[in-house]
Amino acid sequence: MNDEYTPTYAVDDYEQITEGRATILFPRNNEVFYNPVQQFNRDMSIAAIKTWRDITAEAKLARYNRSTNPAKSKPSPKFTILEALAASGLRSVRYAKEIEDIDYILTNDLLADAVESIRRNAHFNGISQQLVRANQGDAISVMYAQRDKKRFSVVDLDPYGTAAPFIDGALHAVENGGLICVTCTDLAILASNNHPETCFAKYGGNPLKAEFCHELALRLVVHSIQQAANRQRRYIEPLMSCSIDFYVRIFVRVHDRPLMVKTVASQTGVVYHCRHCGSFATQPFGAIVPGKGDNTKFRIATAPTADSLCANCGSTQDIGGPCWIGPLHNTDFVQR
């Protein structure tokens, strides 16, 4: 994965671009894609990963302090990151320079030119090959290869277009309690009704042309991640979900908690939206009701919550989703 060699290059042949604490050498012939508009995405991702790191470390330390096993070792704060679609390597270089306690980052791309760029930029920024490990491979294959190995603490997906083809692999590659960071840049599909068939094929739900179209876009992506996780008996917890410019950026924590998977139907549903007055109603697919003692029962929800015509103005209603109708954010995470 990581060939030990020193890349050779002439600095004068490249344009230097500084972002955060990193300066990358950007080829003048544009051999590797760089998008300065996404700087906010990278800034936000650094803050999110740091916050996840702190919360995770605190939880591990609390469990250690409660333990009565004298042979138990104090947990290490170190963690690993997989950047599956790295391009120039800027994101990984920034992570390495701006986030503490990283064990290593596997910085992957399919193209040989991109991998050479990753090595060059890591070297130019004084980062060891053990910290930023450049790897050439198909992102999906790299992620699926982690199923029977030690999984990554953080998996970052930042493709050009939809992340849908990579979601299942990311869930195989991330550890219990780990963080998945997802970017989708196809808001033209997610936040309009121009191509509902394409949106449904990618994300498993229909978009709506509505005032809340960008929120629905987030909920469609979270729904697709949640469904992929549930098939592995895993549950994802949205920590922060943002719609920015032409893309969405979502951070979810992954839990190996089959019991929580049972709650997903009650947090998934469709949205009825009036074309004329804009009113809307949600219809969950499931319901949670009290059982005997402290037990709960999971049932199919009673339908419908709305008529085919709007109760306010009598106009025709459209149906959006299925989508995630649970929380999009973890309040403690966002506030920190």
Asked if the model's pLDDT at residue 3 lies above 60, the reply is: no
Residue 32's pLDDT band (boundaries 50, 70, 90)? low
Which residues have CB under 8 Å from 68's CB, separation 6+?
A: none
Q: For 12-21, 31-40, 75-84, 235-244, which range has the lowest pLDDT when averaged over its residues?
A: 31-40
Q: For 139-143, 148-152, 173-177, 278-282, which range has the lowest pLDDT when averaged over its residues?
A: 148-152
Closest CA to 41 of 212, 203, 251: 251
Which amino acid would we find at residue 28? R
Average confidence (pLDDT) over 175-194: 96
Asked if the model's pLDDT at residue 1 lies above 50, the reply is: no
Residue 30's pLDDT band (boundaries 50, 70, 90)? low
Q: Look-up: residue for tokens 């490249």?
A: 14
For 187-231, the pLDDT digits (tens) are 999 999 889 999 999 999 999 999 999 999 999 999 999 999 999
- For residue 268, what are the β-bridge partners? 324
Asked if the model's pLDDT at residue 176 lies above 50, the reply is: yes
Asked if the model's pLDDT at residue 306 lies above 70, the reply is: yes
Average confidence (pLDDT) over 53-64: 95
The span from the CA of 272 to the CA of 153, in Å, is 38
- The reported pLDDT for the residue numbered 294 is 83
Average confidence (pLDDT) over 84-112: 97
Residue 2's pLDDT band (boundaries 50, 70, 90)? very low
Average confidence (pLDDT) over 35-59: 95
pTM of the predicted model as reported, rounded to 2 decimal places: 0.95
Choose between 44 and 73: higher pLDDT: 44
The beta-strand segments (E) located in the chain are 14-19, 22-27, 79-83, 102-109, 132-136, 152-157, 174-184, 235-244, 247-255, 268-274, 280-284, 286-290, 296-300, 317-324
